[in-house]
Amino acid sequence: MKYSLLISLVASWILTVSASKHVTSRCPPISGDILFRNEFQLYPSFYRWDDQRCVLYLSSIYNASIVVWDPYSSSIQRVISLPGVSHSGLEASDKRLSGTVIDSTNDVLSAVVQADEFFLSGGNDVSGDNFVVKVDLNTFAVKKINLTTTTKGQYGAFIDIDNGLSGDLYVNGGYPSSILHIDCKDKVSPFYVREPTTAPRPFGFGGVVRVGDNLIASDNTNHQLVRFTIQSGHSSPVVIPQTNYHNFSGGGSLSLPHRYGGKVLLMAEDILAKNTTGVSVFSSMDGWKTAKFVGFIESIDRKLEPASVAISQTSAHELGDRIYSSVLFYDNKTNPSMAGNRTDFALRDITDSVDPLLQANGFDM
């Protein structure tokens, strides 16, 4: 009991520190859209900002590689090729790169390598090897951790990832809902798996984020945000009751920007019934025991592109003191899991949309 109490107190302290609105960064400020011009098949679907090296790490999803981008010179610093994983966007491969996270305590970037069979089959086929790769940001050495040896191919569609409390990781799967835990020695174990795992599988967790000693997931099967307590000794989701309930079935990646003191949750969301995509905004004043749906910010790219162009909102994260969002274009009409011929992309600065929305709903900035 004393140990559990100590863990809870430490986690609360971590949450308080990590939620501070005043985050120290050595990087010059950035604002406005980040544009990638003449970058053939870049498709930067997920990204993370390194506030020590002042670079962006982009998931080049269809190439299954990591692109290191300097936003100040608008140039590629390095392409991190993952042995046995990365490939040409013109090459038929089932490997795609999705969610990423940086552990600044040990200078490691972790990323999810997903087998894309689930994408073309609507979750009926979850075969193929899935991995988490760890990249040492000082030496660029790469380590692969096989997730499929744990799942035995019964569940998959691994999408996003977040750090645990002590050098560990949590990875969410979508068909059906699952969360895998990777400990600090890289041992993989199931944290939560929704039964049954047989086809047809409903689309479940689209994203996961840690807040203190809790995990929050976007549960598309039940159209709810759900919470797990890491140290509870059991892994069962608890629905986070919403004021102004928002019913979603295409919720994806989650983030809790420092800018808002850990009290605002951003969820990438596709609304298929309206053929639109964007970022849903939630707030909480009680440590995410309950939540309030604040509103939906439609993707700028969705507004700019013809309705016939297939787009999905993939993530919204903090970059310095600003909030950016990314989308994924499905340009390859023959095989939507492969790259098209697009050359221009953007991360959109949505800060000036999120802030007024929060203020209009009484959020103290």
In this predicted model, what pLDDT tens digit does every residue of 275-329 receive, in sequence order?
999 999 999 999 999 999 999 999 999 999 999 999 999 999 999 999 999 999 9
Please report which confidence band the pLDDT of residue 24 belongs to, taking 50, 70 and 90 as the band edges: low
Q: What is the mean pLDDT of residues 186-214?
A: 97
Q: Among all chains, which residue has been given the structure tokens 């600003």? A: 322
Identify the band that residue 13 occupies on the pLDDT scale cut at 50, 70 and 90.
Answer: very low
Taking a C-beta distance cutoff of 8 angstroms, is the pair 79, 40 a contact?
no
The more confident residue out of 17 and 172 is 172
Instruction: Give dist(CA 357, CA 220) in Å, integer.
Output: 24
pLDDT at 160: 97
Q: How confident is the model at residue 120 (pLDDT cuts 50, 70, 90)?
A: confident
The 10s digit of each residue's pLDDT in 42-99 is 999 999 999 999 999 999 999 999 999 999 999 999 999 999 999 988 888 899 999 9
Domain 46-360 bears CATH identifier 1.20.1250.20: no
Whether 17 shows a pLDDT value over 50: the answer reads no
Tokens of residue 247, six digits = 């019913």
Give the pLDDT of residue 89: 82
Please give the order of strands across the beta sheet that includes 311-319: 34-36, 345-349, 322-329, 311-319
Contact criterion met (CB below 8 Å) for 210 and 164: yes
CB 323 within 8 A of CB 337: no
pLDDT above 70: residue 23: no
pLDDT digits (tens, 9 = 90+) for 157-185: 999 999 999 999 999 999 999 999 999 99
Q: For residue 144, what are its two tokens?
A: 């692969």
Return the pLDDT at 233: 63
